[in-house]
Structure 1
Amino acid sequence: MRIRRLAVALVAVVLAGCGSDLTGTALPAEIDIRTLDVGSFPTEPVNAHDDDPVPDFYEMYNVAGMRIASHVIDAAAIDPRMKYGTGARAISDGTIAWEFGDDRALEPIAEKHKMLYGFLSTGASSDSTVSSMSWPSKEPTNKFTAATVVLQFPDAAAASAAAQEFHDVDLAAMEGRNQPVSIPGYPGARSHWRPDSPFLRTLLPHGPYVLGFLLSVDKPDQNALTALAATAYDKQIKALADVPVLTDEEIYGLPFDPDHLLVRALNPDQFTFPDGDGSHTVTSPAGALHYAGAPGVPLSPERDRIAEQFTAMKAEQVAFSHGTMTIRTADPASAQRAVTDKLFPHHHKADAAAPPNLPHAACTENRTFDGAKRFTCLVAYKEYVGVVGGSQLLDAHQRAAAQYALFANTR
């Protein structure tokens, strides 16, 4: 009898509720992703079975490089006229960037002093690169250029010894042509230039780091070059001020993609190893700006434009995965704004049709000289934004649909 009374009371409550007024806004249910045309692209994350990708120990320099990228200045920070990115990459232990000099002569020095890892960022005042034939050269229209290199060693003594040897070997190779110069405010910097060349190479040990710059101005001008170097050191030292120094053991224990942003990126070949050149990279929005102009990265070479787009969508983290970019924004409204305001990371020529049956997506036909695919699509899902591209519109549409499905399938 008691059970019967409870049942009657429950029915009464339910019936009363049906006649009452409820406040709130109805939300549309998510679409059935099985109805999307995803072509042959994967829609399950690589960690679908709770097995997150774990890099091999020899790949951890890439993870360390991704971490330090957020604290390396780019060329525009040295001089805003150098707004074009020309690429970036992580540097492994015992190797060296040619921007420091002849890498074949300098790599034994890096190995001797147990260099741990590094990061290189390059930029210029025009969309062109610097080349090296013993001493660097550039196109006459490329008036200002900068390469920033940050290397970490085990301690300050190793960094100081390595910087001195790097400089001595490099200057000896230029004997009779290059001359040592001083940098205002930085008596510990080792620097040299060539009087008939607009370039200067300079190194500075700073704690366990070696900071290096290869700089150029519009014409041979020692004073202009040394002033630019002083500015570069000022800003790079400030950028490193709050970064905890890593031991070699800590490098091997760094987390890789702890927030699963790379796992959410469309990755047709399912590559999982980290790569610090933008192929399979996760970093902050500031770190992502270094990859402007890098081959295969869906970014305009104009860093100021990208920074504006990231700010507009409130980007908090950025990942690149073999031509795809994923962005975690502050909230779903910010991700939706990226689509409705068409915050594409490069210049576009005309709007293109959006993928059929896919909510929160927009596509564009691009200006080909931006380095992007012919078509790019943006897709938003919750707080995430995916950027995919294709040479054909159907390919871009299928990638966008697959990216949406991958977002939906990833925890």
Structure 2
Amino acid sequence: MSAGMVATVGLSACGSDSSGAGVSDPVVDLGQLDVGKYSTQPRDLGVPNSEGLARFMEAERLGNVLPLPYEIDPALKFGESNVHAFLDTDNSHLSPMFRWVSETGFADAAKNYIGGFSTLGTSDQSLKLSHDLVNTALLFKDENSAREAAAALSRGDFIHDDPVEPVPLSNHPNTVARWQPAKQIIVAWTPVDRIVLVTIVSHYENAEIGESDLPFLTNLAEKAIDVTEARLKNYRPTPPDQLMTVPVDRENMRGRALKRPDGDSYENVPGVYDQHGALNFVDDVEFTAKAYNENGVDLVAFDGASVTRARDAQAAQKIFDDMAKPDRMTQTVNSPKGLPIAKCFQYKGPKPFQRFTCFVRYGRYASSTGSQQLQDAQQRISAQYALLVNSK
């Protein structure tokens, strides 16, 4: 079971809705499933019921446009499923950019701010051997607010107390850049229409061994700005006065996903992403991108479970077959009652985010969910399976 895909794929089979050659959906008696407290009926999420939700949805849409770090530097092939879409700094889940720059004063500097999205890529799964890129887009209500925010934010503090120096980026005269030699970090602020790009490049390995390579940092920062500006030409932000009118769901993807229960983490808020955007949430981006392309994945929903839509049932089955198998850190545990086609695993490694993960497939949809308790994980995947069946 690849860690890079656990969050975004699953397995199953049942009733009908199968168009993949050679793959059938066996009949499952939904009445015999133990779904616990979880709903098995699809939801109509309509339009946002709060300004905060509308802003989050717009922030998530940025994730479908921003380049993935490995598209900027092929060495940055490892991702991270931590916070990507975010709002204000009074929100408990902050952008990874605040690992390097202080959140203090953000609200005062970012007037008329709507929402932001951060992408993150590292060159090695061992942080001390890596360099990384955190590429953030902050969306504002108008261009003037973005320009003023870029200038104000660039004067903010870094997290670490080591000296910070200005750095000119010759190819980007509108960019303000500063670097911290002791930590081998450069941060650049660039206004682009209604958006401020905050580009952060850090080289952990050089910092560990006492090496300094400013040209490497500036070159990667400039490339990130160039690629991101080019991608943003395809982005049309929603007019601020229309944010409350844009549907929360996309093609009923979240409607067929298990609702996230109260008490679960909202580190990443529920949402629907296209294939490109969904790759922000996996560990092994290169591997997962190949699997998505080969199997025609076009949309992924994240809520109480993830639901991945593949080309057809056969493609969804291939994703499941690839992912729903144990690795050195997991072991197979019992499938849910009445749903032997689902597969569940227990994580045996250190500091588990969730101990149990279950997978299921129905038609062209693959799904995964998990819990710290096996029975709860089994109930969740059973309810998710019934949801997929009932969403035909």
TM-score by length of 1: 0.75
Q: Which residue of structure 1 aligns with residue 169 of structure 2?
A: 183
**Per the alignment, do residues 99 and 77 of structure 1 end up closer, same or farther by CA in structure 2, a change over 3 Å counting?**
farther
Shift of 1:74: 3.4
**Per the alignment, do residues 46 and 28 of structure 1 end up closer, same or farther by CA in structure 2, a change over 3 Å counting?**
closer
The separation in 2 between residues aligned to 1:240 and 1:363, in whole angstroms, is 40
| Contact 1:61 1:93 (C-alpha < 8 Å) held by counterparts | no
> Do structure 1's residue 215 and structure 2's residue 196 form an aligned pair?
no
Instruction: Describe the superposition over 1:257-282 as per-residue Cα deviations: whole angstroms up to 9, x where unpaired.
Output: 1322112112363799x96x424222
> Do structure 1's residue 284 and structure 2's residue 240 form an aligned pair?
no
Q: Which residue of structure 1 aligns with residue 54 of structure 2?
A: 60
> Do structure 1's residue 32 and structure 2's residue 32 form an aligned pair?
no
The separation in 2 between residues aligned to 1:326 and 1:151, in whole angstroms, is 28
SS in structure 1 of the partner of residue 175 of structure 2? strand
The separation in 2 between residues aligned to 1:58 and 1:110, in whole angstroms, is 16
**Per the alignment, do residues 340 and 90 of structure 1 end up closer, same or farther by CA in structure 2, a change over 3 Å counting?**
closer
Q: Which structure has the greater CA radius of gyration?
A: 1
The separation in 2 between residues aligned to 1:268 and 1:159, in whole angstroms, is 34
Answer 1 or 2: higher relative contact order, Cα 8 Å, separation at least 6. 2
Shift of 1:109: 1.6
Q: Which residue of structure 2 aligns with residue 239 of structure 1?
A: 231
Shift of 1:402: 1.7
Q: Which residue of structure 1 aligns with residue 83 of structure 2?
A: 88
Aligned-partner residue type, residue 103 of structure 1: E
User: What pairs with 1:103-252 in structure 2 (closer than 5 Å)?
Assistant: 103-111=103-111, 114-127=112-125, 141-170=128-157, 177-217=163-203, 218-219=205-206, 220-252=212-244
Aligned-partner residue type, residue 213 of structure 1: T
The separation in 2 between residues aligned to 1:353 and 1:258, in whole angstroms, is 34
SS in structure 1 of the partner of residue 384 of structure 2? helix
The separation in 1 between residues aligned to 2:241 and 2:294, in whole angstroms, is 38
Indicate the larger mover: 389-398 or 377-386.
389-398
SS in structure 1 of the partner of residue 256 of structure 2? coil
| Contact 1:262 1:320 (C-alpha < 8 Å) held by counterparts | yes
Instruction: Describe the superposition over 1:10-41 as per-residue Cα deviations: whole angstroms up to 9, x where unpaired.
Output: xxxxxxxxxxxxxxx9x877433112233443
**Per the alignment, do residues 99 and 248 of structure 1 end up closer, same or farther by CA in structure 2, a change over 3 Å counting?**
farther
The separation in 2 between residues aligned to 1:344 and 1:253, in whole angstroms, is 42
**Per the alignment, do residues 332 and 268 of structure 1 end up closer, same or farther by CA in structure 2, a change over 3 Å counting?**
same
Counterpart of 2:316 (choices 335, 339, 342) is: 335
The separation in 2 between residues aligned to 1:269 and 1:205, in whole angstroms, is 38
Instruction: Describe the superposition over 1:83-142 as per-residue Cα deviations: whole angstroms up to 9, x where unpaired.
Output: 33232332326878525733222320212xx122211233323447xxxxxxxxxx6x14
Q: Which residue of structure 2 aligns with residue 326 of structure 1?
A: 307
Aligned-partner residue type, residue 105 of structure 2: A
**Per the alignment, do residues 67 and 181 of structure 1 end up closer, same or farther by CA in structure 2, a change over 3 Å counting?**
same
Aligned-partner residue type, residue 52 of structure 2: Y
Shift of 1:81: 2.8
The separation in 2 between residues aligned to 1:174 and 1:351, in whole angstroms, is 44
Instruction: Describe the superposition over 1:162-202 as per-residue Cα deviations: whole angstroms up to 9, x where unpaired.
Output: 2122213448x999922211224212210011233310011
Q: Which residue of structure 2 aligns with residue 75 of structure 1?
A: 69
**Per the alignment, do residues 341 and 153 of structure 1 end up closer, same or farther by CA in structure 2, a change over 3 Å counting?**
closer
| Contact 1:45 1:409 (C-alpha < 8 Å) held by counterparts | yes
Shift of 1:225: 0.7
SS in structure 2 of the partner of residue 80 of structure 1? coil
Aligned length: 359
**Per the alignment, do residues 176 and 286 of structure 1 end up closer, same or farther by CA in structure 2, a change over 3 Å counting?**
closer
Shift of 1:209: 1.2
| Contact 2:47 2:246 (C-alpha < 8 Å) held by counterparts | no
**Per the alignment, do residues 340 and 104 of structure 1 end up closer, same or farther by CA in structure 2, a change over 3 Å counting?**
closer
SS in structure 2 of the partner of residue 186 of structure 1? coil
| Contact 1:82 1:124 (C-alpha < 8 Å) held by counterparts | yes
The separation in 2 between residues aligned to 1:319 and 1:185, in whole angstroms, is 38
Q: Which residue of structure 1 aligns with residue 379 of structure 2?
A: 398
Q: Which residue of structure 1 aligns with residue 284 of structure 2?
A: 302
SS in structure 1 of the partner of residue 360 of structure 2? strand
Aligned-partner residue type, residue 187 of structure 2: R
**Per the alignment, do residues 389 and 100 of structure 1 end up closer, same or farther by CA in structure 2, a change over 3 Å counting?**
closer
The separation in 1 between residues aligned to 2:51 and 2:297, in whole angstroms, is 30
| Contact 2:49 2:244 (C-alpha < 8 Å) held by counterparts | no
The separation in 2 between residues aligned to 1:404 and 1:330, in whole angstroms, is 19
**Per the alignment, do residues 353 and 309 of structure 1 end up closer, same or farther by CA in structure 2, a change over 3 Å counting?**
farther
**Per the alignment, do residues 346 and 290 of structure 1 end up closer, same or farther by CA in structure 2, a change over 3 Å counting?**
farther
Identity %: 25
Aligned-partner residue type, residue 368 of structure 2: V
Shift of 1:69: 0.7
Q: Which residue of structure 1 aligns with residue 13 of structure 2?
A: none
Indicate the larger mover: 57-66 or 352-361.
352-361
The separation in 1 between residues aligned to 2:303 and 2:288, in whole angstroms, is 18
Shift of 1:384: 1.3
**Per the alignment, do residues 35 and 123 of structure 1 end up closer, same or farther by CA in structure 2, a change over 3 Å counting?**
same
Aligned-partner residue type, residue 107 of structure 1: A
Shift of 1:211: 0.7
**Per the alignment, do residues 221 and 52 of structure 1 end up closer, same or farther by CA in structure 2, a change over 3 Å counting?**
same
| Contact 2:115 2:138 (C-alpha < 8 Å) held by counterparts | yes
Shift of 1:285: 2.5
